Structure 1
Amino acid sequence: MTTTMTAEQAGRFADVVERLAENVSHAVQGKPHVVRLALVTLLTGGHLLLEDAPGTGKTSLARALAQSVRSTTSRIQFTPDLLPGDITGVSVLDQGTGRFVFHPGPVFASIVLADEINRASPKTQSALLEVMEEGRVTVDGVSHPVGEPFLVVATQNPIEQAGTHRLPEAQLDRFLIKTSIGYPDHATTLRILESAAEPPHSDPLPSIVTPEGVLLLMAEARTVHVEAAVNDYVSRLVQATRDAPETRLGASVRAALGLVRAAKTYAASSGRHYVVPDDVKALAVPVLAHRLVLDPEAEFDGATSEGVVARALLDVAPPGGVAQA
């Protein structure tokens, strides 16, 4: 029988997340909401998709996360000529022994930055699918676990479309959260410019928790209590995205599960051992919107996935009798 998180455990969880967020914010300034979403993704055991123009701090975010949890990080620059083996690794014949030896690729790291993932071919994009879903790579019939924790931070440039391949719905559904860092505000830009004389990444960030500590936090987040009324609320929200006239394909069951799991982590990071409807509302757009497939005519008329989810939040009443944040 699974033990439910206590109020004391929730308080300790929130304290650790607050220290992690403060640490990462030294590298990604002025974006506390994005930092929190990234930490929720990590501690839920999901993957993060960032849709941003170049130079907004995507690499800094991945590196800061890795340093904060004392983990390894790697960066894969996706290009049209990138092959699946360039990501996962290959088996090479050892001349001395006459046996094939597996040489792991850059995906064997705790936090992997997959930069401009939509520039690679669909075959190479799909090479990430098994790793993201199963946490292992299979080469020549042999499975190689990538280890835990494991987070893929993938990016795509929304501006340049020439020479890109749109991510298939099956792969988009593997990303727990999609968000955007965006440009910093004026005050944050000034702070960044004032420190421009310092070499980038000259001072590594201190580690806040160990990888083992991250796994413990992930396990604790799964024990947050969710009332039946909140599950019913999530189900009705997902159904509303399916019934919307603008959508050809609504949110999947995986999306509903992801929303509940992320809401548990979000609640614990807020110091609560139970999920409230406001947790679901805060995560509905970043968890659900990228999984919807819009009707082409509705999209041509200006409909957006974010708008469909936002309207579902307005149309679907939250459950009564459940505490609010």
Structure 2
Amino acid sequence: MAPRRHKKRKLEKTAGERTSGPTRVKEAPSVYLVVGHEVRCPAYSVFKVDPYAGVGGGAAGNEDPAPVLIRRPLASLSAKFCMPFVPVRSRHGPWIVGVGGDRADQDYAPETIVFDAEMRAVIRGPNLLSTKLNPVLLTIGHKIYALARRPAVKGQLDFVPWFEVLDLSQAQVVGDGHHRLESCEWKPLPRPPFFPWDLTPMDYLSPPKVAVESYVALSSCILLSVSQQAGTHMFDVDKEQWAKLDDENLPFIRGAVPHGHLFLGLSRSKKAITAYSITVKECLSTAPSLSIVEFPVVSEMEEEAMDV
């Protein structure tokens, strides 16, 4: 196992830097907000949000921006409770997909729900092989990976298979009025070797409690750290194999989300949003190595204070 190269750097802004040719203005991506409710119908509402609407909208002498205006919901989603949602770029267009559920013994609503952001259509997807409460949800390409956040060794909720994948590359949307997905289904993946499995009868009576604490999806692998065990584990999505990549935990808590070529996550030590450059380097002669470089995120007010 190669040692991790863990560095801290500061992003620098170059003043007066010019580039030749016309300047291209990149259109900002659309921002959506999924709100969960305490009623079953609907369980969630989807809103489109303009995060820049309140910029510069404060009253005179008041530096606080005006509140962001949230309009009426675009859609209402009837699905099981305790779902996380992720954006997916499908061949049909941009989708928002929710996966999970709070009850394994009742099929009162879908365990996979899709909102088509272009068509504004709600699509029912296939149920998980094992109902998962707030699973770790990650996307790589057209595939969605669902991992039990707190694996259970008995009962129905968060039971095996703990790790599943849904391939949307060939998914078809069928039905008039009530849309559903076809030509796709959840499939089991190799169980994480660091989850409790080979238990003695005494261990089974009081099984060890393991929870996924940190996770991130790269282009060809998934990295995560769990409680009760130090280290970073890697799942190779091409080989479908698990391996321990590093002896240290990932430096952030919960998930790190992509932001350009970096990832944004809540720093484990600073409890503040931090940018990370994360690279897994493959080598034929040695084991893969993990490199993580931290970049502190500076707000506009902090940047102005430093420029004074």
Rg larger in structure: 2
Structure possessing the higher relative contact order (Cα contacts under 8 Å, 6 or more residues apart): 1
Fold-level similarity (TM above 0.5) = no
Q: Which has the higher helix share?
A: 1
Q: Which has the higher strand share?
A: 2
Please classify the TM superposition score into its range, dividing by the shorter chain length: under 0.3
